[in-house]
Structure 1
Amino acid sequence: MEASALKKVRSKLVTPLGIPPPSSRSFSRPGGMGKKKDYTPVHWSRYFTSCEKVIVNEDGDSFQVYRRGSSGPVLVLLHGGGFSALSWALFAECIEGLISCQVLAMDMRGHGDTKTCNDQNLSSETQAEDVVSVVKHIFGSDPPPVVLIGHSMGGAIAVHAAATEQLPTIAGLIVIDVVEGTAMEALASMQSFLRSRPKHFHSLDQAIEWSVRSGQIRNGDSARVSMPGQLTSDVTGECAACEVSATPTVLSQSGFISHAVTALKHGECINEDDEQEKGETPHAFPVEPTFSPPSATDKTGYGWRIDLTKTEHQWPGWFHGLSATFLAIPVAKLLLLAGIDRLDRELTIGQMQGYYNLFFVRTRAFPSQHSDVLRDFPGVLRSHSRFVPCHRRCHAATVTRLFYLLCLWIRLQRQHFLL
């Protein structure tokens, strides 16, 4: 009876694979008026120092890689399904000046500006091999210490890549908001969400505006740089991120915000409820903004880079056996979740036995605004220093600070991820 009740509660809390339904909340400033927001796209060079295409085999499979930093541990950032490496842009900008590290964010197969001979092959084995191949082609057979960081689909692939044991210098594994049990239960709702999205946009500005107004990406600065990476041009067939001008762009005032850092006691979670009440709320907007579809003669619009509906048969493979695989990987591991209810039985037991560190937050906004996961995560790693990779070449203080900054990125991003 207790297990049945828990299952019902979980089904209400969990959104399919990290995909939020359209927001049912409307926000308004006092007086009903708000400052006009800027929805013009921003070039990747605002956040990364370089990008390159890494060709990994004789078939000519090339992976778009964005980089920042030139020394220290390598943070390999893996995005969620339907998104791109540019989803990590804000994190890349703020971290490099605070710790000595290298940031490597890659467009996964079938996403962004990555081009392969089979973009529809998104199996966990293939994508894990892609990650390993990219790291080896950039750094050789003996790369610096590597920390794999992934969200949702990217988190699952990070686990599978670490499990291949082909990265000898792997120093840590961070998985954000993906658990085998709850993910498998949510697969049935995936198709309905994908069908609910607009199929086409007149312009990049319109696409960015939709992503912010619909609540898919709550941070405007993140939407301006990351949304083009999720679309392709009807004219060229190329990733829309290639069309964004590199002219300097003045960012809106919703960028980096510093917060006081206070250490948390062991086992304490972060309550985000007060921030929504005390902070400034966004300006009023319709729950589901309507956009007129392009006419039959309109050839200047943008569509989604990947049709995830055609990859449905591969979704279970991302998550099947994920908990056991995660627990068995012999490196320091961290799991970031929006709430304790997301844990399945295997991970619950593993956490009690000390196989990995777990951080979570309690928030009313989740799951309808589940990108607010760990919105304020100040100083928590100062109180959980036991999550430090045992790899001799990866300095403990660097990694501890990294995890604090990663959670700060989630607060900055306020972004929903597909899969």
Structure 2
Amino acid sequence: MSDLAKTFAKTKLAALPPEPPLPEEEDDSSSASSMSSTGTIIPTSSQRSAPALHWSDYFSQEFFLERPFQSPNINHAKFHVYVTPPSSATAPLLVLHHGAGSTALSFALFAKEIRKALPDAGVLAVEARDHGSVVWDPQGKVDNNFSIDALSQDLFDMLLLTQARMSWKELPPIVLIGHSLGGAVVTDAANKGFLGKKLLGYGVIDVVEGSAMDALKHMQTYLSNRPNTFPTLEAAVEWHIRTRTLRNPQSARASVPSLLLQTPEDRWTWRTNLSDTEPFWTDWFTGMSSKFLGGKGAKLLILAGTDRLDTELMIGQMQGKFQLQVFPAAGHFVQEDQPEKTAEVVAEFVKRNDRSTLILPPKVSDLLAQGKKV
């Protein structure tokens, strides 16, 4: 896998043209609990022959956003994002960050469902460096800094660049939602206070510090046991369904093609070489529980099983510091396996914490000015 990834490093960059759309992406190799997703479900013939779905079925716009070189810590980048803008300046914007090895299209079905539940809300689904976006160091080489600090800064910059591209005078109210590694990224960004009072709250999908740290010990074994290449995109989709990595065929059709790049031999290999990120794995999740509990804003944790809760989060949950929702029928990719239910929970979370919808009692001075008795 690593040899293929090195061989086709230039192909990765070629997959990010200035404007033409990328092939859609998504993955199964996020972090932690995806490794336990095994099974024997055999796809039906209709599932095997179904064509891949396009990003435009779920988002209204696709952008490649340029970040110029600013300092040794903020390098030149071309970020890939999908956007459906909110209906007004006061409507909330959900910012979605995928897991390791995945892409923004892991939120494709969820994005469509959340718009049904919150028609005025906007959606911004971002892609991390080497997952659809590219960052270069001052010498023009691809920047392989996958530290949590770099990833959370990238997230903030993608949001600001989207604001500039959309000509928003100011950022709308923000809700951050992250799956797996994305959960660690949005937690870090919220904890650092990047968004100030614009942040309504943040949600984390199926990752907690304790279980993630335990699972990392087996990550290389998982990566070595999955196929290095696939003969066709249909075969890749089928593999994700058969192994129960993904349990929703429609989501697999939307997200899996974006995880892969075509080789000169007309096979399909993984877009992201997750082995290259190994030096940063512990950095992603160390201290995540305390950061999650300590950040300002409302907090939502969605899990596929209560066994993922560590001690610190158990105590926090008993103290009512965050909302907990468990989907035992889902695998690690909760938002893909059960997009409708996930969207329903997130929509209620947003409604409950959206200050723009609060109806405040009239001021006494206003009543007096209207000639009303107080």
TM-score range (shorter-chain normalised) is: 0.7 to 0.9
- 1:210 maps to which residue? 239
Match of 2:184 in 1: 156
Number of the residue aligned with 2:80: 64
Q: Is the 8 A contact 1:159 1:326 kept in 2?
A: yes
How far is the alpha carbon of 1:20 from its aligned partner? 3.0
Question: Which residue number corresponds to residue 139 of structure 1?
Answer: 163
Q: Deviations over 1:2-47 (max 9, x none)?
A: xxxxxxxxxxxxx96122346244469xxxxx55323422221122
State the secondary structure of the residue aligned to 1:142.
coil
Structure-2 separation of matches of 1:367 and 1:129: 26
* 2:62 aligned partner: 51
Give the alignment partner of residue 388 of structure 1, picking from 352, 355, 360: 352
* Higher mean displacement: 97-106 or 151-160: 97-106
Of 127-136 and 348-357, deviating more is 348-357
State the TM-score, normalizing by the size of structure 2: 0.75
Q: Is the 8 A contact 2:110 2:340 kept in 1?
A: no
Deviation of 1:343 after TM superposition, in Å, equals 1.2
Report the Cα distance in structure 2 between the residues aligned to 1:147 and 1:98, rounded to whole angstroms. 15
What residue in structure 2 maps to residue 177 of structure 1? 206
- Can you list the C-alpha shifts for 1:88-117, whole angstroms capped at 9, x where unaligned? 1111122223311111001111102x1211
> What is the Cα deviation at residue 223 of structure 1?
1.5
The answer to whether the Cα contact below 8 Å between 1:20 and 1:368 also exists between their aligned partners in 2 is no
Query: Is this contact kept in 1: 2:298–2:322, CA < 8 A?
Result: yes
Distance 1:379 1:95 in 2: 7
The alignment status of 1:346 with 2:356, answered yes or no, reads no
Match of 1:106 among 126, 132, 154: 126
Q: Percent identity?
A: 37
Task: Indicate conservation of the 8 Å contact 1:334/1:387, yes or no.
Answer: no
2:106 maps to 1:87: yes
- TM-score w.r.t. the length of structure 1 is 0.67
- Determine helix, strand or coil for the equivalent of 2:238: helix
Structure 1: segments with no counterpart, 5+ residues = 1-14, 29-33, 236-298, 398-419
Distance 1:396 1:125, change over 3 A: farther
Mapped contact 1:39–1:208 kept (Cα < 8 A) = no
Tell me the alpha carbon deviations over residues 150-207 of structure 1, each in whole angstroms, 9 at most, x when there is no partner.
1110001010111221212011100111111111111111111111111112222222
Gapped runs of 5+ residues in structure 2? 1-29, 70-74, 137-141, 360-374
Q: Secondary structure at the match of 1:70?
A: coil
User: Following the alignment from structure 2 to structure 1, what is the Cα–Cα distance between the partners of residues 184 and 54?
Assistant: 29
User: What's the offset of the Cα at 1:326?
Assistant: 0.7
C-alpha RMSD over aligned residues: 3.0
Q: CA deviation at 1:57?
A: 2.6
Per the alignment, residue 364 of structure 2 pairs with none
Give the one of 276, 288, 297 matched to 1:331: 297
Preserved CA contact (<8 Å) 1:78 1:85: yes
Task: Tell me how far 1:361 sits from its aligned partner.
Answer: 3.9
- Give the aligned residue type for 2:97: L
CA distance in 2, matches of 1:179, 1:388: 24
Query: Which of 67, 73, 98 lines up with 2:92 in the alignment?
Result: 73
For the 8 Å contact 1:201–1:207, the answer to whether it is kept is yes
Cα displacement (A) at 1:55: 1.3
Query: Superposition pairs for residues 189-204 of structure 1, below 5 Å?
Result: 189-204=218-233
Q: Classify 1:375/1:49 alpha carbon distance in 2 versus 1 (closer, same or farther; 3 Å).
A: closer
Rounded to whole Å, the distance in 1 between the matches of 2:334 and 2:159 is 33
2:11 aligns with none
- Give 1:369 deviation, angstroms: 9.7
Aligned pairs, number: 310
Separation in structure 2 between the aligned mates of residue 163 and residue 19 of structure 1, nearest angstrom: 26
Contact 1:338–1:370 under 8 Å retained in 2: no
